[in-house]
Amino acid sequence: YSLLPGVTMGLYVSRSASLGRVLTGGLVLGVLAFSLNWAWQIWQNGLSLGIHAIELIFADYFNYTLYALDISGLSDYYAAQGLSAAVLTDMFKNFQRGLETLRPAWYILEDWARILLAVVLARVVLVRKGILLSPPFTMHRMAWQFDWVIILGLSMWLAGQQWHIGWFEKGGANILLLMTPIVFYFGCSLTVYLYRRFRIRPWIMVILALATLVLPMQTFLFVVVLGVF
């Protein structure tokens, strides 16, 4: 099902569209192609999506962690703190259910990675011919329509939690996960722009770098918020 995004991007390139428009068309058609393929599988076999590699990686990591705790003798220490193997297993099962909820988004992100790689390789070849041009990184701005996609995902997620509508909550969570790397990219663009625009002093940069190392998730969310606004 790579045909739809491939043909769409090819048509955009033939019309001398910008890099952003080509990539957007490919990503949107990637979601459509995945949805059609998923619907076809359900209609044919009545089966849901298979376990994604991300889930298997976390499962292997958890099993290795339990094994490492056991052979190191730390399992008794953590058990005394209320974190026995049974408790840790139950916590991981809850985490695994969260990964399962986001399974469609994991598959779409995997397809998006292929599309992005194809566009990058095509740009290396075509940019010399004046095709797939783009402004400098610091001038990249997210289309305002994407904000409405984020609002839709957040609304669905909150409404699903409030009224216990499972498929609504799941749909909103998947939309938010798909939008996160896009928003993070534009947040990075704005961050670099602010750094160059205001010429931040070196000692402030050192503090920000240390804060990023100590609080990586908070830094990531901050950049995401910058990208949204």
The per-residue pLDDT for range 141-170, each reduced to its tens digit, is 888 889 999 999 999 999 999 998 989 999
Whether residue 44 contacts residue 33, with contact meaning beta carbons closer than 8 Å, is answered with: no
Considering the chain, what is the average pLDDT of its residues?
89
Q: What is the pLDDT of residues 70-117, one digit of tens each?
A: 888 778 778 888 888 888 889 999 999 999 999 999 999 999 999 999
Distance CA 184, CA 30 (A): 20
Residue 114: partners with Cβ closer than 8 Å, 6 or more residues away: 2
Residue with tokens 């044919």: 44
Distance CA 30, CA 2 (A): 7
Report angle CA 115, 107, 2 to the nearest 5 degrees: 40
Residue type, 92: F
181 pLDDT higher than 70 = yes
Residue-level pLDDT at 208: 86
3-state secondary structure of 199: coil
Distance CA 95, CA 207 (A): 33
Give the pLDDT mean for 16-38. 89
Helix axes 3-14, 103-126, angle to 10 degrees: 30
- Which one is predicted more confidently, 76 or 223? 223
CB neighbour class for 163 (10 Å; exposed up to 12, middle 13-18, buried from 19) = exposed
Of 46-50, 111-115, 212-216, minimum mean pLDDT range: 46-50
- Which one is predicted more confidently, 188 or 229? 188
Distance CA 149, CA 176 (A): 8
Give the pLDDT mean for 175-199. 92
Residue 110: partners with Cβ closer than 8 Å, 6 or more residues away: 52
Residue-level pLDDT at 197: 87
1 pLDDT higher than 70 = no
How many Å is the Cα radius of gyration of the chain? 22
Residue-level pLDDT at 155: 96
> Where would I find the H helices in 15-164?
19-45, 53-72, 74-80, 85-101, 103-126, 145-162
Residue-level pLDDT at 202: 84
Distance CA 171, CA 179 (A): 12
- Give the confidence band of 200 by pLDDT, cuts at 50, 70, 90: confident
Whether residue 107 contacts residue 49, with contact meaning beta carbons closer than 8 Å, is answered with: yes
Most confident segment among 14-23, 54-63, 174-183, 211-220: 174-183
Residue-level pLDDT at 47: 64
* CA distances, 103 to each of 5, 170, 222 (Å): 21, 10, 25
Of 35-44, 165-174, 219-228, minimum mean pLDDT range: 35-44
Report angle CA 191, 107, 188 to the nearest 5 degrees: 5
Give the pLDDT mean for 113-141. 87
Residue-level pLDDT at 183: 96
